[in-house]
Amino acid sequence: MKTRMKQIGWGIALCIPLTIQAQYSVSGIVNSSSGEAVQQVRISVEGHYTGTYSDEHGSYSIGQLKDGEYLIKTSAFGYEESATRIKIAGNNLEVNITLLFSSLKIEEMQVAAIRAGEKTPTTYSNLSKEQISNSNYGQDLPYLLNTTPSTVVSSDAGSGVGYTGVRIRGVDPTRTNVTINGIPINDSESHSTYWVNMPDFASSTDNIQVQRGVGTSTNGAAAFGASINVKSDNIEKKAYAMLDNSVGSFHTLKTTIKAGTGLINERFTLDARLSRISSDGFIDRASSNLKSLFLAGAWIGKKSILKANVFLGNEKTYQAWNGIPEWKYKGNADSLLAHYYANSYSTADSLNLFNAKNNTYNYYTYENETDNYQQDHYQLHFSHSLNDKVSLTIATHYTFGRGYYEQYRQEDELVNYGLNPVVLGTDTIKTSDIIRRRWLSNHFYGGIFSLNYSNLKNLKLTFGGGINNYNGAHFGEITWARFASHSEIGDTYYNTDAQKLELSAYSKANYQLKKMNYFLDLQVRHIDYSFVGIDESNGQLIELQQDVKYTFFNPKAGLMIDFNERNNAYMSFSIANREPVRGDFVESSANNLPKPEQLQNLEVGYRYKSQKFLANFNYYWMNYKDQLILTGQINDVGGYTRTNVSKSYRSGIELELAYQFLKKLSVSANLNMSQNKIASFVEFVDNYDNYDANGKMIQDRVAHQNTDIAFSPNLIAGAGINYSPINNLDFNLYSKYVAAQYLDNTSSENRKLNGYFTTDFKVNYTIKNVVFSELILGVLVNNVFNEKYVNNGYTFGYISGGMRIIENYYFPQAGRNFMVRLALKF
């Protein structure tokens, strides 16, 4: 541990400069092609962290530049980006810049309303198209976020392909809001985002913003600790074609074909991508076969853009959801034998348990134990610039998802499928081996809008919102049974229909008064959710009928102070409210519904930028009211439901550092140190030695105080080095340390995942204009030092024979593995 912390410490120390001095400045005026001054233009120096904005007169100034050549870049909404090369030689320089209007830049309005900008007093990270492309070797999109602060990513298959997840500040994926082009992506009922349903979407992504904490108001599910906003590819002016292939460990293969027409008659474009990713996975039989299609067509007017996006995803993954028993993973023969006797294993399952490799064992052996799902997304965006001050965006969307997972079940109770016992002579058979499919078919559709106003001086206003509706069918069918009773092929044994309507509206204001920027964000969100039918709860069929309505008010306010072009500070306070998820309702009756959760979030930060050095410091306090957690309690319908706890919180500091040693060498680091606590709660433990007079099991109760929130490490740190010895050749080394995590909320040492330290190495080399317009060669080595580690799992326990039994299950991640990439662009 000490060695690892020293490694992290040295990585951070390298980022701290000894002296930072500059001597001259470049200044000037930014005008439009019609001669009018343009304000709020971002002016930056390539390869440096310094930058500024033009004022209301179009004036700008960047100081403390040494002698040498520089590339000055500009970026402004509605205008073409420009790059001007300058040379400073012993004196200050005046450079006036002329910007050309571009209707293509209007496309940025798709996400502008819900994103944070440099003047927004909240905590966020941006990933550019170049950063995404350099890391895109075929792993799911969450793995591209691994280098952002406070982030832990995990994979069921252990290799980053298939079912993957991301936790930010310890917040689970169901509490993280996800949008693509401003359209909600989270499942309406579970609030989860299934990235496996959008294979290789990174290949059609222009940029990503991750907001930590409540952030700014967004569309869809509540941002209850983090939000991820993805922007798909921008319109390309020139025709292109690209073939992108990656191959590597676990027989992983990614093939991507992209092509675009460029601008046709300065009015139309069409872009397409076709991808296939396959992998055997690190875990036994945890294979993935993923396919996707992306289409985008656009019409470009003088002040308007109409753009349609279609992206389809199809996945077939072999299930690795069960994880590996702790003692199998650790290779403890005696404890594994005790686990074997405490659980029901068939002869075939026993052979698999004892003969499989310890760290790649998969409980499932049935050949078609697979998850199969198709998800189709349709988006239509209209963006219009009414004038220099007012712009409007409107978007409609429709998502159709359908699929099932198939399971082979041994000796299941027939009554749990609504089937009568089978009588054979004098024998009454109440159990049977069964193959079942659990289906989900849903439709999600609606619209969003935003109206944006800027007085071109010091005031920006945004009014937006949306209407979204969800209809979902959950049903299960029996495809085969050894003893079929009175069932027929394809009979459904449960069927539930759900409907959810969401209405939301928000208003945002930014007001700049000299060096002070004031921010106010008010949102109202209304939920109407109902479902009816028969569903499975804790292995039993139950009748369901519930209808709930919620109306939430989510205010946010903040302040940013610009001390000078290098230093600023910010503070914001936000409140978010969130409805329970589907499982909370299914596992409870109308008489004991869980309460909604509330999050109060304080963010305080300081940012510093100079020519070669960047530092961001942030303190956060996330105070939960009625947070829902698992306690083991069985409720009045026999389900292990989540329970509201009155007080819990997350509090921590985040630090980001970057230093440009030389033009070709830079280092970066990030750090999260936190406390994540539940004030008090009662754990309920099944006691199979204790029953009441009616034969009902009585649970033991264990009181806990000041415990850690599950899956919330108190330290996450990363450090990276980037070296470019020649143009278009980049070497990147990134190391990450994640401290121990608990599998539940009891802070029990026997229910804990150990900390781990990993290092990834990446090389990208681009050859331009030799046969192809670009030829990209890349090598990615994950987990260079072959660390054996686990960063996800689950636990349960009970009392039997007077003993407390603990069952921990782990999801191990792959050891050293690699990918090789070859991309050809025409």
Q: pLDDT digits over 244-296, tens only?
A: 999 999 999 999 999 999 999 989 999 999 999 999 999 999 999 999 999 99
Model confidence at 45, pLDDT cuts 50, 70, 90, reads confident
Average pLDDT over residues 312-334: 95
pLDDT score of 22 more than 70: no
pLDDT of residue 20: 43
Average pLDDT over residues 237-243: 95
The secondary structure of the chain in percent helix, strand, coil, rounded to multiples of 5, reads: 10, 60, 30
Q: pLDDT digits over 488-509, tens only?
A: 887 899 999 999 999 999 999 9
- Give the whole-angstrom CA distance, residue 108 versus residue 777: 31
- Give the whole-angstrom CA distance, residue 668 versus residue 736: 12
Is there a contact between 215 and 116 (Cβ–Cβ < 8 Å)?
Answer: yes
Residue 816, phi then psi, degrees to nearest 5: -55, 130
- Give the whole-angstrom CA distance, residue 409 versus residue 418: 15
CA angle 644, 647, 651 (to 5 degrees): 125
Q: pLDDT digits over 622-633, tens only?
A: 999 999 998 888
- Give the whole-angstrom CA distance, residue 404 versus residue 413: 22
Positive or negative: CA dihedral 232, 236, 239, 244? negative
Is there a contact between 682 and 646 (Cβ–Cβ < 8 Å)?
Answer: no
SS3 108: helix
Is there a contact between 394 and 411 (Cβ–Cβ < 8 Å)?
Answer: no
- Give the whole-angstrom CA distance, residue 658 versus residue 733: 14
- Give the whole-angstrom CA distance, residue 578 versus residue 627: 10
- For residue 570, CA distances in Å to 217, 236, 522, 619, 622 come to 18, 36, 19, 10, 17
pLDDT of residue 241: 97
pLDDT score of 52 more than 90: no
Angle between helices 347-355 and 333-342 in degrees, nearest 10:
160
Positive or negative: CA dihedral 201, 207, 212, 216? negative
Within 10 angstroms of residue 355's Cβ, the number of other Cβ atoms is 8
SS3 133: helix
Pick from 32, 29, 24: nearest CA to 54 = 29
Least confident of 346-355, 584-593, 681-690, 716-725: 584-593
Q: pLDDT digits over 785-818, tens only?
A: 999 999 999 999 999 999 999 999 999 999 999 9
Q: What is the DSSP letter of 159?
A: S
- Give the whole-angstrom CA distance, residue 757 versus residue 735: 7
Average pLDDT over residues 137-165: 95
Pick from 350, 333, 290: nearest CA to 157 = 290
SS3 414: helix
SS3 92: coil
The three state secondary structure string of 22-63 is: CCEEEEEEEEECCCCECCCCEEEECCCCCEEECCCCCEEEEE
Structure tokens at 452: 């944006």
> CB neighbours of 718 closer than 8 A, spacing ≥ 6?
8, 147, 149, 669, 670, 671, 734, 735, 736, 737
pLDDT of residue 635: 64
Pairing assessment for the beta strands 205-213 and 123-127 based on DSSP bridges: antiparallel
pLDDT of residue 14: 44
Q: pLDDT digits over 754-788, tens only?
A: 999 999 999 999 999 888 999 999 999 999 999 99
Say which amino acid occupies 186: N
Say which amino acid occupies 5: M
The C-alpha R_g of the chain, in whole angstroms, comes to 28
- Determine which helix (DSSP H) or strand (DSSP E) holds 330, and give its type and residue range: helix 326-330
- How confident is the prediction for the chain on average, in pLDDT? 91
* Assigned CATH topology for domain 1-101: Immunoglobulin-like (2.60.40)
pLDDT of residue 12: 44
Positive or negative: CA dihedral 278, 404, 324, 434? negative
pLDDT of residue 4: 52
- Give the whole-angstrom CA distance, residue 428 versus residue 423: 5
- Give the whole-angstrom CA distance, residue 523 versus residue 532: 30
Residue 803, phi then psi, degrees to nearest 5: -115, 145
Average pLDDT over residues 663-680: 95
Q: Which ranges constitute the DSSP H helices of 102-247?
A: 109-112, 129-135
Q: pLDDT digits over 181-209, tens only?
A: 999 999 999 999 999 999 999 999 999 99
Per-domain residue ranges of the chain: 1-101, 240-323+362-825
Average pLDDT over residues 153-160: 96
pLDDT of residue 695: 86
Structure tokens at 653: 């500091």
- Give the whole-angstrom CA distance, residue 182 versus residue 465: 10
Within 10 angstroms of residue 455's Cβ, the number of other Cβ atoms is 12
Average pLDDT over residues 747-755: 96
pLDDT of residue 639: 64
Average pLDDT over residues 358-387: 95
- Give the whole-angstrom CA distance, residue 196 versus residue 173: 14
Model confidence at 11, pLDDT cuts 50, 70, 90, reads very low
Q: Which CATH architecture has domain 240-323+362-825?
A: Beta Barrel (2.40)
Pick from 288, 293, 297, 289: nearest CA to 313 = 293
Question: Which of the two residues, 743 and 489, has the higher pLDDT score?
Answer: 743
Model confidence at 10, pLDDT cuts 50, 70, 90, reads very low
pLDDT of residue 637: 55
Name the burial class of residue 94, with classes exposed (0-12), middle (13-18) and buried (19+) by CB atoms within 10 angstroms of its CB.
Answer: exposed
Q: What is the DSSP letter of 282?
A: S
pLDDT of residue 15: 44
Pick from 261, 429, 250, 431: nearest CA to 346 = 431
Is there a contact between 262 and 341 (Cβ–Cβ < 8 Å)?
Answer: no
SS3 146: coil
Average pLDDT over residues 459-481: 95
pTM score, whole prediction:
0.92
- Give the whole-angstrom CA distance, residue 807 versus residue 798: 9
Q: pLDDT digits over 703-714, tens only?
A: 999 999 999 999
Average pLDDT over residues 386-411: 94
Pick from 735, 758, 743: nearest CA to 813 = 758
Pick from 685, 712, 686, 684: nearest CA to 697 = 686
Pick from 162, 111, 157, 172: nearest CA to 141 = 162
- Determine which helix (DSSP H) or strand (DSSP E) holds 213, and give its type and residue range: strand 205-213
Say which amino acid occupies 185: I
SS3 634: strand
pLDDT score of 41 more than 80: yes
pLDDT score of 547 more than 80: yes
- Give the whole-angstrom CA distance, residue 539 versus residue 510: 52
- Give the whole-angstrom CA distance, residue 66 versus residue 87: 10
Average pLDDT over residues 599-615: 94
Average pLDDT over residues 449-474: 93
Structure tokens at 514: 């000299």
- Determine which helix (DSSP H) or strand (DSSP E) holds 338, and give its type and residue range: helix 333-342
Name the burial class of residue 770, with classes exposed (0-12), middle (13-18) and buried (19+) by CB atoms within 10 angstroms of its CB.
Answer: exposed
- Determine which helix (DSSP H) or strand (DSSP E) holds 353, and give its type and residue range: helix 347-355
